[in-house]
Amino acid sequence: MTASPPTGYRGIFRSTEYRGLFAAQTVSMIGDQFARVALAVLVFDRTGSPAWTALTYGLTFLPDLVGGPLLSGLADRYPRRGLIISCDVLRALLVALMAVPGTHLAALCVLLVAVQLISAPANAARGALLPSVLGEADYPAGQAALQSVTQAAQVIGFAAGGALVATIGTSGVLLADAATFLTSALLVARLVRHRPAATEDGDDASKATRAWLPDLMDGSRLVLTDARLRALVLFACVSGFYIVGEALAVPYAAALGNGAIAVGFMFAGYAAGAAVGALVVARLPAPTRLRLMPPLSVAACAPLVLCFADPALGVVVALFVASGLGSAYNVVASTTFVLTVPDSRRGQAFGLAVTALKVSQGLGVMLAGLAAEHIAPHQVVGLAGVLGVLAAAAVAHTWRAADGPRFALAAQPA
């Protein structure tokens, strides 16, 4: 790791390797969003069933709960660049098979689950590789830029996906998604240099020879027994509360007397706030970032409390923007988590943390949907804000207790 001072956003994009990873992530993320829309349209056209459509959409997220803990450790056992390339090529082949006209619905679901499972080690490898590419000083800025482009790609993908399906059809969109995976693999292959598999305690032997189960248990034990890592994972889980605003955007907009355009504004409001917040926070000095992490986690939830007043659409969008700004604490939590874990364990630990994040968000979405069957959407969002503030405050207390003298040091003026 380099000990040089941060170079800022202009500096990180001077890195050819980072540009490769950034472009690959952007291309494949937009393609993924297009494919999600295409699959939803395809399944609904074939079955006419909202339940099957929702199930298929859910299958684009659920495999992460298995793939995260079980497959992310591959990023510690094999060279990470090669793992990313292999996963991208394999995903391209599987998505291309999904594009074959007349593919049975059950086969589509199996292929979709396989694609998502393969995503887990690829994402873990990318997350674990980034500190080696940029160094500790520039890593937060690099992660913030990736997080921001992910938010933008989701908005672009969902907004343009329907028009693209209407233009080239569902099979065409799926083939386009397969092409984005191949493009991602090519970018990584050409622009990111080879590094050997992560080693531990100076051992140059390949970790590929180690047993999978001990690696999984060691990674789990590391996260569960380190109080700082546990607290950082809990910070990520706070997102299960403020995601409720996005989860209920459609019924919330309908209750306000607005349609699809209002839903788009709600999604875009949160995404814009999250993107800007991440870019701003990552430029702050490390001690300042750590000092702001607890209050920002509270700030991600607090604006939603005002939804109890049932404000107009413009105010709701502004509240979602404010929530997105507060969610920038995730950049601090995720980068601190990765840098705290030894390089030889980063892939496995990253996968476990992402699994916790996905579980919390999935539970938040599910419980919010159930609650909205009985009470108004604005009340559900407001309640989620209250519970989120309480949860974030409790996690902040846990973090201060776990970090001890290091937190006190970080809290000193820079």
pLDDT of 267 > 80? The answer is no
**pLDDT at 201 (0 to 100):** 47
Mean pLDDT of 218-227: 76
DSSP for 48-107, please give it: --HHHHHHHHHTTTTHHHHHHHHHTTHHHHS-HHHHHHHHHHHHHHHHHHHTSTT--HHH
pLDDT tens, 358-410? Answer: 788 878 877 887 888 888 989 999 999 999 999 999 999 999 887 654 544 44
Q: Which among 365, 274, 270 is positioned nearest to 320, based on CA atoms?
A: 270
List the domain boundaries for the chain: 1-193, 218-414
Average pLDDT along the chain: 82
- The yes-or-no answer to whether 1-193 and 218-414 have a common fold is yes
**Does domain 1-193 bear CATH number 3.40.50.2000?**
no
- Cα distances (angstroms) measured from residue 268 to each of 70, 157, 161, 257, 364: 33, 12, 15, 19, 20
pLDDT tens, 79-95? Answer: 999 999 999 999 999 99
Mean pLDDT of 5-27: 86
Mean pLDDT of 94-100: 91
| Single-letter amino acid code for the residue at 351 | G
**Does domain 218-414 bear CATH number 1.20.1250.20?**
yes
Mean pLDDT of 314-342: 90
**pLDDT at 49 (0 to 100):** 65
CA–CA separation, 299 vs 177, rounded Å? 36
Higher pLDDT, 37 or 95: 95
Look at the chain and count its residues.
Answer: 414
- Cα distances (angstroms) measured from residue 106 to each of 54, 196, 203, 328: 15, 39, 45, 39
pLDDT of 132 > 50? The answer is yes
Mean pLDDT of 299-328: 94
- Cα distances (angstroms) measured from residue 370 to each of 226, 237, 305, 321, 375: 35, 20, 19, 25, 9
**pLDDT at 392 (0 to 100):** 96
Higher pLDDT, 31 or 154: 31
Taking the model in full, what pTM does it have?
0.72
Higher pLDDT, 210 or 102: 102
Mean pLDDT of 34-53: 71
pLDDT of 353 > 70? The answer is yes
**pLDDT at 149 (0 to 100):** 80
**pLDDT at 350 (0 to 100):** 76
**pLDDT at 67 (0 to 100):** 73
Least confident of 48-57, 186-195, 242-251: 48-57
- Cα distances (angstroms) measured from residue 16 to each of 20, 191, 282: 6, 6, 20
Q: Tell me, what DSSP letter sits at residue 193?
A: -
Mean pLDDT of 155-182: 80
**pLDDT at 383 (0 to 100):** 96
pLDDT of 41 > 80? The answer is no
pLDDT of 146 > 60? The answer is yes
